[in-house]
């Protein structure tokens, strides 16, 4: 217990104080986010949350090198992502370069870490695991790039990326601990602790003048780390601690939001990577919710999805049932988001009609 308290305290302290130091450096070198048409915050905000999380993880791994397999490889990958993300935050590099580097790291992960999506479980209910063969390499690249960009796209309001990351990592840690995979579960705990100081700074807990953003460095590191741990947990031998379909439930909101957004952009003839203000958090705010309300509601929904994944894993719900249930949820989500403005207009019309009727009755 003492070493756990030490590790947790050490990680939190490194993350916390590195934010104080890094935010000053960021302001000096211009690594800041300035308001524009899409970004409505006030003032220039240091983009150092991801760098702080990376530094904290590396500091922990330095004294706990055997906590997860291929520690050196994982450290190399997140350092590359931190550097690329920081350069993107500073100079706004082309998304093609980012995708190329993400693809390269996917290949590195498969070749040197032997981590790939080799099977997707019994999602068809045929009784056997559906193996992918050589196609697994291609699917793994899409999975890694998709996870990285899914977490990048949800980073739109204060606390949301941190909150969704904590939901995913915390849920994965619960499943791994339940399965007896204590080392990886412990690493999930450390990751949550490393992210917590950022969330506090991001939400303005220590004053709005000390506010920081995660930046692309952070969203890429978190997305990559999540998919690394999900692959490690779902492709681990003949009896992995969680089924591949459960992984979908743990990252449901980022995955559904990214997929829906990209489909909508493609249908409009736009690049799927073109930024806009049509994500779930933007829609909630335009429907009248405050940033705090949006944060709470989205994290609650994500926790419900993750809870369903945890419960199904623990009680042994068949994989194909959970897969069809997930796809049903996605279709409902996509349909709702595709018609959200019609629905909101209809609701406003109904409220207006009800109000007019009430005023008429009072006048009579």
User: Is 273 inside a domain boundary?
Assistant: no
Q: Which of 117, 114, 149, 66 is nearest to 231 (CA)?
A: 117
Residues 305 and 343 in one domain: no
Low-confidence ranges of the chain (pLDDT < 50): 238
Q: Which domain holds residue 62?
A: 2-33+41-254+298-317
pLDDT of residue 117: 86
| Residue 291 is assigned to a structural domain of this protein | no
What's the maximum distance between 2 C-alpha atoms anywhere in the chain?
79
Residue 164, pLDDT score: 96
Q: Is residue 191 part of a domain?
A: yes
pLDDT given at position 360:
65
Report helix angle 182-202 to 215-234, nearest 10: 160
Q: Take residue 68 and report the two structure tokens written for it.
A: 């997860």
List the one residue out of 203, 214, 221, 230 whose CA is nearest residue 81: 221
Q: How many domains does the chain have?
A: 2
Tell whether 307 and 359 lie within a shared domain.
no
The pLDDT, as a whole number, for residue 253 is 96
Whether 323 maps to a domain, the answer reads: no
* Host H or E run for residue 299: helix 291-315
Question: Is there a single domain that holds both residue 55 and residue 88?
Answer: yes
- Say yes or no: 311 and 360 in one domain: no
Q: What pLDDT is attached to residue 358?
A: 61
pLDDT number for residue 361: 62
- Please report the sign of the dihedral spanned by the C-alpha atoms of residue 80, residue 85, residue 86, residue 90: positive
**In the 3-class helix/strand/coil scheme, how is 139-206 assigned residue by residue?**
HHHHHHHHHHHHHHHCCCCCCHHHHHHHHHHHHHHHHHHHHCCHHHHHHHHHHHHHHHHHHHHHCCCC
Co-location of 247 and 191 in the same domain: yes
**Whole-angstrom Cα distance, residue 307 to residue 266?**
32
344-356: burial string, b at 16+ Cβ within 10 Å, e else: eeeeeeeeeeeee
Please indicate, yes or no, whether residues 310 and 348 belong to a single structural domain of this protein: no
Q: Are residues 15 and 76 in the same domain?
A: yes
Residue 267 lies in a domain: no
Distance CA 16, CA 198 (A): 7
Q: How far apart are CA 66 and CA 212, in angstroms?
A: 32
- Any domain includes 196: yes
Q: Are residues 100 and 186 in the same domain?
A: yes
Q: Within this chain, do residues 214 and 127 fall inside the same structural domain, yes or no?
A: yes
Q: 97 near 83, Cβ under 8 Å?
A: no
pLDDT at 133: 83
Has residue 213 been placed in a domain?
yes
Token pair of 238 as six digits:
């003949």
Domain presence at residue 26? yes
What pLDDT sits at residue 33? 87
Looking at the fold, whether 197 and 225 belong to one and the same domain comes out as yes
């Amino acid at each position: 217990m003492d070493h756990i308290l030490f590790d947790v305290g050490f990680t939190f302290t490194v993350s916390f104080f590195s934010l104080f130091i890094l935010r000053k450096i960021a302001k000096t070198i211009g690594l800041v986010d300035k308001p524009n048409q899409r970004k409505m915050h006030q003032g220039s905000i240091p983009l150092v949350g991801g760098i702080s999380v990376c530094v904290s993880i590396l500091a922990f791994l330095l004294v706990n090198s055997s906590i997860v397999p291929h520690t050196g490889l994982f450290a190399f990958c997140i350092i590359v992502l931190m550097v690329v993300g920081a350069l993107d935050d500073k100079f706004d590099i082309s998304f093609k370069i980012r995708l190329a580097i993400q693809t390269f790291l996917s290949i590195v992960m498969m070749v040197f870490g032997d981590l790939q999506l080799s099977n997707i479980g019994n999602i068809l209910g045929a009784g056997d695991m559906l193996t992918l063969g050589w196609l697994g390499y291609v699917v793994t690249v899409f999975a890694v790039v998709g996870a990285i960009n899914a977490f990048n796209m949800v980073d739109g309001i204060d606390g949301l990326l941190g909150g969704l990351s904590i939901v995913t990592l915390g849920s994965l840690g619960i499943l791994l601990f339940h399965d007896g995979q204590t080392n990886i579960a412990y690493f999930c705990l450390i990751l949550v602790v490393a992210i917590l100081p950022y969330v506090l700074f991001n939400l303005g807990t220590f004053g709005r003048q000390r506010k920081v953003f995660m930046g692309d460095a952070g969203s890429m590191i978190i997305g990559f780390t999540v998919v690394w741990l999900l692959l490690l947990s779902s492709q681990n031998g003949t009896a992995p601690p969680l089924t591949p379909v459960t992984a979908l439930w743990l990252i449901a909101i980022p995955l559904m939001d990214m997929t829906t957004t990209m489909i909508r952009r493609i249908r409009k003839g736009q690049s799927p990577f073109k930024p806009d203000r049509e994500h779930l958090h933007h829609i909630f705010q335009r429907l009248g919710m405050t940033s705090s309300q949006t944060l709470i509601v989205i994290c609650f929904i994500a926790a419900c999805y993750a809870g369903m994944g945890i419960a199904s894993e623990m009680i042994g719900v068949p994989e194909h049932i959970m897969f069809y249930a997930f796809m049903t949820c996605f279709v409902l989500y996509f349909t709702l988001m595709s018609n959200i403005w019609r629905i909101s207009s209809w609701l406003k019309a109904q409220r207006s009609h009800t109000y007019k009727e009430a005023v008429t009755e009072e006048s009579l």
